[in-house]
Amino acid sequence: MYSLFSKLLLIITFSFTAGASIANNDTPEQIVRSTSKDVLDIIKKNDKDTSKMRDLVDQRLSPLADYNRMTSLAVGRYWKSATPAQQDALSKEFRTMMIRTYLSALTLYKNAQINVRGTRAGNDASEQTVRTEVSLPGQKPIPLDFSFEKIGSEWKVFDISVEGISFINNHRNQFGAVIRKDGIDGLIKSLSEKNNTSRQSK
């Protein structure tokens, strides 16, 4: 399980990769390198307007993150038994959950720096992992890996690992426990209730 600090850094760093428009021929490493300043600027300029920040971050993430694959990996073996409607609902709530989670942290770490340490090949030519470290003044750097897949001509993020622990695998354990107890609809309900509670508390 991540520490709270590591979880916040994980989510913040994920938002770093979601900056401005991405050229089709950009490599995953170029994407990570070129967008961090843009998103940090958005955070600094809009930290007093949570709604605006949420909309801007969502716009940045939408073209880059493969939410369907993220959700299917997080749900694991139960994904295939879900109906198309349930899969759509799970993907929608998972996306909202991610935005909800990192919005609670975006304004906390404005002085974070990301250093790219290189890339490594994935399972095939359509996958790459970008190795990075995130550092804050006076804190030990935290290693984070971004897993990209190439869909058509675009690279999309489908997982992140912090200190070797996969974000997707961490949620798979949590989601599996809910599904075994309350079924797939129970997981959808649980995510929806948490997302709605977060909206009402803003």
What residues contact 128, with CB distance under 8 A and at least 6 apart?
27, 28, 29, 119, 120, 121, 122, 147, 148, 150, 155
Beta carbons of 66 and 157 less than 8 angstroms apart: yes
Give the dihedral sign, CA 162/165/167/171. Answer: negative
Burial zone of 31 (CB within 10 Å; 0-12 exposed, 13-18 middle, 19+ buried)? buried
- Kindly report the number of other CB atoms within 10 A of residue 172's CB atom: 17
pLDDT tens, residue order, the chain (202 aa): 445 444 444 444 544 444 444 445 688 888 877 766 666 677 777 767 767 776 776 676 666 778 899 999 999 999 999 999 999 999 999 988 877 665 555 555 566 677 888 899 888 889 999 998 877 778 888 888 889 999 888 888 888 888 888 888 888 999 999 999 999 999 999 999 988 876 655 5
Residue ranges of alpha helices (H) inside the chain are 4-16, 28-46, 50-61, 67-75, 84-103, 167-201
Of 1, 197, 14, nearest to 98 (Cα)? 14
Give this prediction's pTM. Answer: 0.74
